[in-house]
Amino acid sequence: MNNHLQQLIDLSIVDKDIDAFEPQIEEANYNYEAALAKTQSIESDIENLTTEIKDEELKKSKNELHLAELSQKLEENSKKSGEIKTEREMKSLQLEEEIAKEQVTFANEEIARLEKIIEAKKEQIEVAESSLKELTAKLESVKADVDAKLENINKARQEVFVAKEKLLGTMNQKGLAFYQKIRRWAKNTTVVVVEDQACMGCHMVIGDKVYADVIKGEDITTCPHCGRILYMKAHEE
Ligand SMILES: [Zn+2]
């Protein structure tokens, strides 16, 4: 086989190997990023719950203040009741007292309701904090795992880069430029095999003349339909 053609085949294999590292790196990072995202989401849940608790506590203290005012009023009323002279005054005072007592009941109910809400939210925070603790511990081991994987990938990638550099050093510049021009659009199918007289890049049948050239492998032959570089797999014994 033509030496230049062989070099292009080798280069296409090396380039394919280099591209294959990207998804490996992404996959390794994905595990860590997913765990990190989960941690951040729990942290923001805790933050939101804390704000909500503050709001509920503010409502509760408003009700407590109101309750204090009401009890003061009731106390004043009971003092006044000793000075009552007419039945009208008495009725009016009784009415006031009834209203105040109703308000006391309502405020107490409201405080109890708010306390339940606050309690529930505090429990939610506790649950969130304990899963956050677990996750943070796990995150460290995930990180270590990812770092180890990335180191291995980088080592392997470095080796492939060295192989590519070595190959590029021996290649002729014209052939390389030709290859790179096709690779811009054809990516990892720049150099493809011919099977059953068809280009395995575009899957179209090639004419007899081109097919004969590909079989000979004396020149660099391209597919007449798509322009990819063609070659025959070595004869299988
Ligand atoms: Zn083709």
CA of residue 191 to ligand 1 center, whole Å: 10
CA of residue 21 to ligand 1 center, whole Å: 26
Residue 1 has pLDDT above 90, yes or no: no
What was the pLDDT predicted at 237? 40
Note residues around ion ligand 1 (Cβ under 5 angstroms): 199, 201-202, 223, 225-226
In the chain, where the domains are located: 3-168, 179-236
Q: What is the pLDDT of residues 35-69, one digit of tens each?
A: 999 999 999 999 999 999 999 999 999 999 999 99
What was the pLDDT predicted at 235? 61
What was the pLDDT predicted at 81? 82
Residue 85 has pLDDT above 90, yes or no: no
The CATH number of 3-168, from 1.10.3720.10, 1.25.40.10, 2.130.10.10, 1.10.287.1490, is 1.10.287.1490
Q: What is the pLDDT of residues 111-160, one digit of tens each?
A: 999 999 999 999 999 999 999 999 999 999 999 999 999 999 999 999 99
CA of residue 22 to ligand 1 center, whole Å: 26
CA of residue 182 to ligand 1 center, whole Å: 12
CA of residue 3 to ligand 1 center, whole Å: 22
CA of residue 126 to ligand 1 center, whole Å: 63
CA of residue 179 to ligand 1 center, whole Å: 15
CA dihedral angle for residue 191, residue 230, residue 185, residue 161, rounded to 10 degrees: 20
Give φ, ψ of 199 to 5 degrees. Answer: -70, 130
